[in-house]
Each structure stands twice: as C-alpha cells, then as structure tokens.
Amino acid sequence: MRACTKCGALVSLTPDGVATCCCVGGPAMTAPNNPTPDPITDADIDMLLRLLTDKLPPWSESPSTFYALIERVRQQTATIASLTAERDAAREELSKRIEYPIISRVELVRQIKAAASNSHADIGKQLQSYFSSLLSEAYRSNKLLSERIAVLEGENGKLRSIISESASACGAYVSPECSIEFMSELPKEIALVTRRARSLEDK
C-alpha cells in the first residue's frame, strides 16, 4: 500500500509496483503506517505551519512529513505516560520517606557512629541533616521529572493543534485532545472527506 501525494488515500500497488490514485491519477508514495518513518524536525513543523497559513492542507504538499508528525505525537504521548508513571511512583516514595524515613540498618549504624565520633556532635541533628539530604535529592529528582513532562506536554499540544487545523482545512474536525487511536485513522478520514468534497464539486 502507498499513500497518495494528493489526497492521502491508501492505494494498492499493481504487480509491477505502480500505485495510481483515483483522485486525479496522482502518484503515491510511502504509506503512513511505515513502522520507521523519518524523524520530523522543527523545520518540518515550521513548513507545516506555513502551509496552514497559506490555506494548503499539509498532507497534499508533504504527506510523509504530515504522517511523521502524527507518529511523533504518538511516540511522545507514550513517553509522557511513562514519565508520568515514574513521577507518580517517585511522589509516592517521597511521601513514604517523609512519614517513615527509609534507611538500611547498616547505613543507620554508620551514621550514628560518624556522629558519635565527634564528642561535641548532636546525634539527633546529624541524622536529621542526613535525612534532609535524602529528601532534598528526592524532591530535586521529582521536580526534574515534572519539568520534563511539562515540556513534552507543551510540544504535544502544539503538534496536536497542527493536526487538528490540518484536518479542519478539508472539513474534518479533530479536537487537539483527540486520542492517539483516532490519529492513526486520520489520513483515511482526510482522504474520505476530500473525496466527498470533490464529488460534490463535480455535481
């Protein structure tokens, strides 16, 4: 199967490897479900935005880039889910540390001996300082995870908006919060709406 460069519809290959779409006999190219699409760059995203500004559906000018955009959103959504799970687990661990400081018996004995070696040391303050450093590291790690998730969610929001506006350009409404499962069907939906519009124009 190949995706038409004009309307994005999936077209079957003939035995000699040729794929011709019924829309205007347009040539077809790599299918959108290619498991290893070329990575999309910031320049690609800028190009898609320029096409939208010029009222040109991105998939008609650069379908491979548009499909790579969908794949990038798909991958980043999975990354966000993974990082969010990691952050939530870290938060749960952090709450446990606050209530019940987690420290091995060997490490506890070592800390007590280290504090006791100083005749003027307050063992309680020494241990409190040690536990504070543990919590500080946990907080820092959690903060970094939250920042990473925020960056990804921000970029994903921008990319989803491009996809939504691209679909709207041919009359297919897709909200920026649309599901990843639906995104995989988006090229087919775009092709269907485009064909319907053309059939109405012919009438």
Q: Tell me: the pLDDT tens digits for 31-57?
A: 344 444 455 566 666 666 666 555 555
Task: Read off the pLDDT band of 184 (50, 70, 90).
Answer: low
Q: Are 179 and 74 spatial neighbours (Cβ–Cβ below 8 Å)? A: no
Cα gap 69→77, rounded to integer Å: 12
pLDDT > 50? residue 199: yes
DSSP character for 159?
Answer: H
Distances (CA, A) of 147 to 78, 84, 85, 157, 161: 17, 11, 14, 15, 21
Q: In this predicted structure, what is the pLDDT of residue 24?
A: 45
Task: Read off the pLDDT band of 176 (50, 70, 90).
Answer: very low
Q: In this predicted structure, what is the pLDDT of residue 159?
A: 72
Q: Are 139 and 94 spatial neighbours (Cβ–Cβ below 8 Å)? A: yes
Q: In this predicted structure, what is the pLDDT of residue 46?
A: 66
pLDDT digits (tens, 9 = 90+) for 79-106: 778 888 887 877 776 666 555 555 555 6
Q: What is the pTM of this model?
A: 0.41
Domain ranges of the chain: 2-202
Please, what is the average pLDDT of the chain? 61
- Classify 64 as helix, strand or coil: helix
pLDDT digits (tens, 9 = 90+) for 185-195: 555 555 555 55
Q: On the CB side of 186, how many CA atoms lie within 13 Å of its CA?
A: 35
Q: Are 62 and 47 spatial neighbours (Cβ–Cβ below 8 Å)? A: yes
